[in-house]
Amino acid sequence: MKVLRQIAHGDADTGLQLTEEPDPVPGPGDIVVALEVAPVQILEVWNLHGPLRFPAKSLPRVPGSEGAGRVTAVGDGVTRFKAGDRVFTPKFTGTFREKMTCPADAAFHAPDGAPADQLAIISTMGLTAILLLEDYVPLPPGSWLIHDGANSSVGRFVTGMARKKGWRTVNVVRRAGLDNEIKALGGDVVLVDPGEADAFADMVKKATGGAEIAIALDMIGGALAGRMAHALKEHGTLVLYGGTGGEPAKIDFIDMGRRDLTVVGMGMSRSFNRRTPDQKDAVWAQLGAWVEDGTLQTRIAGKYRLEDYKAAYAHAAVPSRERNGKVIFEF
């Protein structure tokens, strides 16, 4: 089988190597997964280019943070899966290879009926979105929530899931022209951030008919997080979950104190690991169902075979706005 290995920090020419290796054999409790899909997220590019930003720590290694595939063999004692089952692989286990082993307990069922490319980023971004909604948005149907980064992968998942749960969404984006696309996903209101807190709150008020908004989900941070807080009702909660802008969330003292806001941070692993095994399976079952029924849609910018890893990495390094979707390996 083919395996991509990172042997050094550098570019795809010097740092990566495609090798031919024997198929893995499952140990007790393990399964072997023939991968169907694995995304080349920007993190993979940073892992390769190190040491400036998120260099991979120990080399050589098989890159690839997530993926999905079919079980081809099971080790002794495995009852959770059988050959032919479709699974999401555990995170950070090296998915840029045709086959891999992993502990059966760490893998989760993936939906049979979904196109493989639509499974690529479910185990990180899909999981983040569903945990945000399950753990931080205890809202009665018809309630509003506001979220920024609404055109990002997680943002789009949030929009789709919120609609399924009967919640209404204010979707904050940074450029015009996304209304139709986001409304098609189930978004109610699409707002271009005006860059100023009072104007922002006024826009939200107008667009929602003065709805009270108890929850804001912020993936960007900086002053935008403060504007999101400013649009919340009394006792509202601002959930930070990405900080992708690199700036700390900046929240007005008056908003925090007078209106009794709470700011929390969502960590995917912590939220997930609070759950019992049954609850974990239920999360994945729900994600799977929503991929199958089209609630969760992943934009694919490019599909590559593992042999074409250099082109895939180059494509993944293109800024997300120009790329407009995910780069994936299909096996």
For another protein, the binding residues (CB under 8 A) are 221, 223, 226, 240-243, 248-267, 270
Length of the chain: 331
Query: Residue 62, SS3?
Result: coil
Dist CA 325 CA 110 (whole Å): 21
Between 66 and 255, CB nearer to another protein: 255
Nearer to another protein, 176 or 254 (CB): 254
Closest CB to another protein among residues 269, 279 = 269
Distance CA 245, CA 224 (A): 10
Asked if residue 60 has a cis previous peptide bond (ω within 30° of 0), the answer is yes
User: Which CB sits closer to another protein, 31 or 268?
Assistant: 268
**Shortest spacing between CB 207 and another protein, in angstroms:** 23
Nearest distance from C-beta of residue 240 to another protein, angstroms: 4
What minimum distance in Å lies between the beta carbon of 253 and another protein? 4
* Minimum gap (Å) between residue 243 Cβ and another protein: 3
3-state helix/strand/coil string of 289-309: HHHHCCCCCCCEEEEECHHHH
CB of 260 to another protein, least distance (A): 6
Termini Cα distance of the chain: 11
For residue 217, the cross-strand partners are 147, 239
Residue 299 vs residues 129, 253, 303: alpha-carbon distances, Å: 16, 39, 11
- Shorter beta-carbon distance to another protein: residue 258 or 305: 258
